[in-house]
Amino acid sequence: MRPRDNFLKGIWSENPILALALGLCPTLAVTTSLKNAVGMGLAATFVLVFSNLLISLFRKFIPSKIRIPSYIVIIATFVTLVDLLMSAYLPALHKQLGIFVPLIVVNCIIMGRAEAFASKHGPVASIIDGFGMGIGFTLVLSVIGAVREILGAGKLWGLAVSTSFTPVLVFALPPGALLVVGLFMALKQSLGGKK
Amino acid sequence: MFTISSSPHIRDKESVSSIMWWVVISLLPAGITGIWFFGLKAFYIMVACILSAVISEFLLEKFVLKRKVIIFDGSAVVTGLLLAYNVSVGLPLWMAVLGSAFAIAIGKMAFGGIGRNIFNPALVGRAFLVASFPAAMTRFYMPFQKELISTATPLAIIKEGGRAVVSYRDLFLGIRGGCIGETSVLALLVGAGILLWRRYISLRIPLSYIGTVAIMTWIFGPNKFFAGDWLFHILSGGLFLGAFFMATDMVTSPISKRGQIVFGIGCGIITSVIRLWGGYPEGVSYSILMMNGLVPLIDAYITPRRLGERIGK
């Protein structure tokens, strides 16, 4: 697979949320605003790239019977890094995301890529895969976050969109998240192979 | 000339559109009393909901799903009208339009259109509006007033621990605060009579539903067991509208006779639990939506008995 295709598959054809339906818990939980969505997406991308790299490097040494615990140890290392960095430099965002930062450990996208890709491919291809998946995850989170923030709170990036806008509260609530994710999945299905 | 075709071979004259237009006729008494009680604004809300439902169905069928446009079968009109009956007269028109478009787009067309929806579309629209605009959806107004004077519904007064001072006669006639089409039990019964006469609905769901609510609210009285004001409970809220016009929706209720009774009892239990111990004063719409979700399960476990089949085998 060419590096370009390897990167692009994470953004469209194998997009983690819209095509693989992975990582839906953070998608539903943190997309109430664009800021949270971008923060979550970038944190997950960081972990994804480095865990993919390390798992790919160690793939010959990790015995297959204990590979899942080994992956978790590697992933948890990077999640701890992100968690501490975020609480040091972005305390407001860290407080907003709360439990969902440590929960990146069990994010199924990261486990999924470790198992499905990094454990079978070389380090360079694994980095590109992790980066593509991470960016695809971030993009979709951001679009969903923006839609939900505009409709549910009448704001974007914390700023009011219009003075005379009545927020449609349901989009700020969990059912609104399911609704928006579902509609975007349907949109991707209907656009299908065009891209 | 012989033609070979699969069943059904005998067709009734009845069609989807004739049934739907009869349902519209049966809803008219409640609509007329709604306009009489709450003024012309109630009429505008009905028109806005119906137009919004029909236009959204047209746009979705024509441009998104690209299939035959069947807006004249009357089903979108029924959805819009039922949604209008389920909102307060003070609701801004644009919210009514939005709720009605949501009911058709998400409640009906997203599942594949008429006959394929799991949930009653009008109630999906109502649930959307309650979640989105809780203040506007729960502010009710007095009937027969020149201007809007807000009031709590009898159920809301009970929920707050007060005593509702509405007589049974006023509850039956509908002289109380509430949604546009839910207040007058008398007008709803006239409409239900038309549906029963046309045999579009049977009494199984409404009776088991209302009966369960009566028994539950009688047993679990506010102060002691077997002393609840069951007559007040069945006459207030949206129970008659829900039991006769929404729980009996052909698409979203069970097929078998015994299944329909199970469905009605389930609706009654959930409604009573929400009213007696839940956070909301009224639970008719959520109870029907929840039981709608269980209909495939009910239909899978309770199948009609075949001719000659042994019982208990």
CB-based contact, A103 to chain B, within 8 Å: no
Torsional sign, CA B210, B211, B214, B219: negative
pLDDT by 10s per residue, chain B, length 313: 677 888 888 888 888 889 999 999 999 999 999 999 999 999 999 999 999 999 999 999 998 888 888 888 889 999 999 999 999 999 999 999 999 999 999 999 999 888 899 999 999 999 999 999 998 898 898 888 777 788 888 888 888 877 777 889 989 998 888 999 999 999 999 999 999 999 999 999 999 999 999 999 999 988 788 888 899 999 988 999 999 999 999 999 999 999 999 999 999 999 999 999 988 888 999 999 999 999 999 999 988 777 877 766 5
Report how far residue B293's alpha carbon sits from residue B285's, in angstroms, rounded to the nearest whole number. 13
Indicate the average pLDDT of chain A: 89
Report how far residue B286's alpha carbon sits from residue B271's, in angstroms, rounded to the nearest whole number. 8
List the single residue in A166, A170, A186 with the smallest CB-CB distance to B128.
A170
CB-based contact, B67 to chain A, within 8 Å: no
Distance from A186 to chain B by nearest Cα, in Å?
9
Residue B303's pLDDT is 82
Q: Residue B99's closest chain A neighbor by CA?
A: A168
Q: Please list the alpha-helical segments (H only) found in chain B.
A: 16-38, 40-59, 75-85, 93-102, 121-132, 134-137, 154-159, 168-173, 185-197, 204-219, 230-235, 239-241, 257-277, 284-301
Q: Residue A179's closest chain B neighbor by CA?
A: B106
pLDDT at A195 over 50: no
Distance in Å from the first CA to the final CA of chain B: 45
Residue B157's pLDDT is 85
Q: Which domains does chain B have, with CATH numbers?
A: 18-301 (1.10.3430)
CB-based contact, B134 to chain A, within 8 Å: yes
CB-based contact, B112 to chain A, within 8 Å: no
Task: Decide: B185 and B240 in contact? Cβ < 8 Å.
Answer: yes
Among B66, B93, B132, which would you mutate to test the A interface (most chain A Cβ atoms within 10 Å of its Cβ)?
B132
Q: What would the pLDDT profile of A107-124 be if each residue is shown by its tens digit?
A: 889 999 999 999 999 999
Domain ranges in chain A are: 3-194
Distance from A176 to chain B by nearest Cα, in Å?
9
Answer yes or no: do B106 and A175 touch at CB < 8 A: no
CB-based contact, B106 to chain A, within 8 Å: yes
CB-based contact, B131 to chain A, within 8 Å: yes
B290 C-beta neighbours (distance < 10 Å), count? 16
A176 contacts on B by Cβ (under 8 Å): 131
Element (H, E) at A156: strand A155-156
Residue B78: which residues within 8 A CB-CB, separation 6 or more?
B20, B23, B24, B27, B122
Distance from A108 to chain B by nearest Cα, in Å?
28
Please report the DSSP string for B69-93 in residue order: --GGGSHHHHHHHHHHHTS-TTS-H
Answer yes or no: do B133 and A186 touch at CB < 8 A: no
Q: What would the pLDDT profile of A121-172 be if each residue is shown by its tens digit?
A: 999 999 999 999 999 999 999 999 999 999 988 888 888 877 778 889 899 9
List the single residue in A169, A179, A186 with the smallest CB-CB distance to B134.
A169
CB-based contact, A175 to chain B, within 8 Å: yes
Among A148, A164, A168, which would you mutate to test the B interface (most chain B Cβ atoms within 10 Å of its Cβ)?
A168
Among A169, A189, A190, which would you mutate to test the B interface (most chain B Cβ atoms within 10 Å of its Cβ)?
A169
Task: Decide: B249 and B75 in contact? Cβ < 8 Å.
Answer: no
Report how far residue A96's alpha carbon sits from residue A77's, in angstroms, rounded to the nearest whole number. 22
Collapsing DSSP to helix, strand or coil, B24 comes out as helix
DSSP at B269: H
Answer yes or no: do B132 and A169 touch at CB < 8 A: yes
Residue B227's pLDDT is 85
Answer yes or no: do A166 and B128 touch at CB < 8 A: no
Residue B70's pLDDT is 87
Per residue in A114-142, is it b (16+ CB within 10 Å) or e — as a string? beebbbebeeebbbbbbbbbbbbbbbbbb
Please report the DSSP string for B115-178 in residue order: TT-SS-HHHHHHHHHHHH-HHHHS-EE-SS-SS--EE--HHHHHHTT------HHHHHHT-SS-
CB-based contact, B111 to chain A, within 8 Å: no
Answer yes or no: do B110 and A175 touch at CB < 8 A: no
Q: What would the pLDDT profile of B191-216 be if each residue is shown by its tens digit?
A: 999 999 999 999 999 999 999 999 99
CB-based contact, B280 to chain A, within 8 Å: no
CB-based contact, B135 to chain A, within 8 Å: no
Q: Which two tokens stand for residue B198?
A: 């046309």
Q: Which two tokens stand for residue B168?
A: 């049974």
What is the gyration radius of the CA atoms in chain A, in angstroms?
17
Report how far residue A160's alpha carbon sits from residue B102's, in angstroms, rounded to the nearest whole number. 25
Answer yes or no: do A170 and B131 touch at CB < 8 A: yes
Distance from B132 to chain A by nearest Cα, in Å?
4
Q: Residue A190's closest chain B neighbor by CA?
A: B64
A151 contacts on B by Cβ (under 8 Å): none
